[in-house]
Amino acid sequence: MKVLFDTNVVLDVLLAREPHANVAARLFALVDSGKLEGMICATTVTTVHYIATDAVGRKKAQKHLRELMTLFEVAPVDRSVLARAMDLEFPDFEDAVLHEAGRAFGAAAIVTRNGKDFSNASLPVFDPIELLAAVIATTG
């Protein structure tokens, strides 16, 4: 299953944000093992760079980003993604952009800790614990 990871789930791993880091790291491991196909939005890369640079410094932030982009596909953001996102009635434009980039790049679902922000999503939305349980149930 091809899953778009919301920025908050990515930051949980990179910044070891408890109590969420363990489940998010297990999802990363499923991507690494090929049991889950992971993608992130191009806007996630810029957001992670900004936040991680402040938290761990520029050099470490760039190292994390290179590893992240090796592990995950990156869903591009172009004019059509932005235009479609503007037409959605999402409470947060960034989430609308993430949703539309995922749809354009073939995501089957989104994993986020802010499911309420995706209440208008046309893609299935999982919280990390739900997705982990679903993948384990189908792959063992």
pLDDT of 15 strictly over 90: no
Q: How many helices (H) and strands (E) does the chain have?
A: 7, 5
The pLDDT assigned to 139 comes to 80
Kindly tell me if the per-residue pLDDT of 79 is higher than 80: yes
Task: Compute how many other C-beta atoms are within 10 angstroms of the C-beta atom of residue 52.
Answer: 22
- pLDDT of 64: 86
Position 140 pLDDT exceeds 70: no
* CATH code of domain 2-139: 3.40.50.1010
Q: pLDDT tens for residues 16-70?
A: 889 999 999 999 999 999 999 999 999 999 999 999 898 889 998 899 899 999 9
Tell me how far apart the alpha carbons of residues 71 and 99 are, in angstroms, rounded to a whole number.
20
CB atoms closer than 10 angstroms to residue 104: 15
Cβ atoms 60, 26 nearer than 8 A: no
pLDDT at 113 over 70: yes
Joined together, the tokens standing for residue 38 give: 């992971």
pLDDT digits (tens, 9 = 90+) for 119-137: 899 999 999 999 999 998 8
Tell me the mean pLDDT in the region 102-115: 96
Phi, psi of 37, deg, nearest 5: -100, 115
Residue range 59-77, pLDDT digits in tens: 988 998 999 999 999 999 9
Domain ranges within the chain, ordered by starting residue: 2-139
Question: What per-residue string of b and e applies to 121-133 under the rule 16 or more CB within 10 Å gives b?
Answer: bebbbbbbeebbe
